[in-house]
Amino acid sequence: MGSNSKSREACHEDRISGLPDAIISHILSFLLTREAVRTSVLSHRWKNQWTSVPNLYLRDREYYPLERRLKKSDPDGFSGFVDRVLFFRGSSNIHRFRLLCLEMKDFSRIDAWIRTAIMRNVVELDLELYEYSNPPHPFVLPRSLFMCKTLVLLKLRLQSNFIALAPASDCFPSLKFLHVDVVLPDADSMEKLFSCCPALEDLVIEGEPGYDSVLNFEVSAPKLKRLRISWYIVPFHQNYDRKVFINADVPSLEEFNLQENILANYSLKNAHSLSRAKIDLVNLHSGEKFGTVRDSADHIQWLFAEIRNVKFLSLSAPVFGGPCSVYQYHLPTFNNLNHLELLLQNCCSLRSVTNFLQISPKLEHLVFENSIHCYVCHFVDKSVHEWSPPDFVPACLLSHLKTIRIRGFQGLPDEMEVVEYLLKYGAVLNTITICTLEYFCEEKEMKCPLLGLREEVKLLQTISMFPRASKTCQIVFPKLK
């Protein structure tokens, strides 16, 4: 009887309340601030525990939907809650301050909260603000934000433009990570935001430029290691003129990631340390019917000239073998390229593979795919679109290329010819791995193989009969292992 009583007491024992304050605060830091505050009703032990939580996550979506349903207005609902949270926390430091405002229209209150976080030595500041008035009112980034000595991470997601009250010097002395996502950005504000970042190591720039606006700004970040840029206009406008110019002075840059459909102009000054690049221009096809790609050959050639010294390149673009093959891009030689990923849409020619091999004399690892779905209807001239062997065998195929991985393989005639060519001249090939195409089956809610097991075995048998320059080359079908 006594043992049963002890076991019941053990079941009802409040072990969480017995944890040290530091551990409880750490647990609460993973909750929305609203939820953390609610724990104060659990017991006297929990009454003020939330005030020591170093991270604040505040969002207004829980307040306004209810007010709309009840047809009431409570302007002090969310704003009052944030004010009280900051008041009861007193002067304790704030490590992470995350603010999401979908309906909040009082930018002066938001400004006051940001200033409070700065006075509390904020380290990570994450702002996501939406403004739907017409015309939209720009949000003003306070001068104190640029001068904050403790700020290491800053994320800005703004539905409208912003105004930057930046000082002439001494901006962001400790900032290492900056992520900016802005709709209809302004060149002057962008310039002020990026022109002086002495400690910045990671920069992400995203947004949707205006059709008729000019966006020309400098990025000055001597310690920047990683740069990711994503511009996108939906839907693509036939009268859009490429008016985005980004000049970046980045002597320490190691990685460059670009995704866009507008063909902006880029200049990467002093990028001597750049070793990895990922370029996704697949959506250029959305502008092909307007002649956008054809008219932008110079922009693409300049872009690739900036990254010609990389060792790793992932490329998703109709660079060589697009349906409009009447134009060709004269790309530079990639003398240092060791690893290439070439991801082609199914409307592109496999000529891209051997063409790129010809300008990559030291390439050792190749991954390519020719099955990415293209949503644009093209006229395809088969006389220039079909694969044919190059006039000269690429140098890397004779002396450097060691591994090849083909994704989305279907066993089509062009694909088989390319595989036969690579085996025939790949003198130092170790492995060629062939991954057959998969599709998403809605009934099974999973990816399913396009080819059956027997079809894959037949493909392996056929390819195994192709002559090989390398006697040690292994042909691998992963699904047949």
DSSP-based three-state secondary structure for 111: helix
Over residues 342-366, the pLDDT tens digits come to 988 766 778 888 889 999 999 999 9
DSSP letter at 332 equals P
- HSE, side-chain direction, 13 A CA sphere, residue 424: 10
Residue range 443-471: mean pLDDT, rounded:
85
CA dihedral of 458, 459, 465, 467, whole degrees rounded to 10: 180
Please, which pLDDT band fits residue 439 given cuts at 50, 70 and 90? low
Segment among 64-68, 398-402, 455-459 with least mean pLDDT: 64-68
Given a cut of 50, is residue 256 above it in pLDDT? Answer: yes
Please, which pLDDT band fits residue 161 given cuts at 50, 70 and 90? confident
- The structure tokens 């009268």 sit at 239
Task: Provide the strand spans (E) within 265-345.
Answer: 265-269, 276-280, 312-316, 339-345
Given a cut of 50, is residue 73 above it in pLDDT? Answer: no
Residue 419: closest CA among 360, 368, 346: 368
Please, which pLDDT band fits residue 383 given cuts at 50, 70 and 90? very low
Residue range 367-384: mean pLDDT, rounded:
65
Given a cut of 80, is residue 297 above it in pLDDT? Answer: no
Residue ranges per domain, the chain? Answer: 307-377+385-440+448-480
Q: Which residue has the higher pLDDT, 176 or 70?
A: 176
The model's pTM is 0.85
Over residues 24-65, the pLDDT tens digits come to 888 888 888 888 888 887 777 787 888 889 999 999 876 665
- The structure tokens 């996501």 sit at 128
Q: What is the reported pLDDT for 165?
A: 82
Q: Which two tokens stand for residue 39?
A: 């724990």
For the chain, how many helices (H) and strands (E)? 14, 22
d(CA 334, CA 18): 62
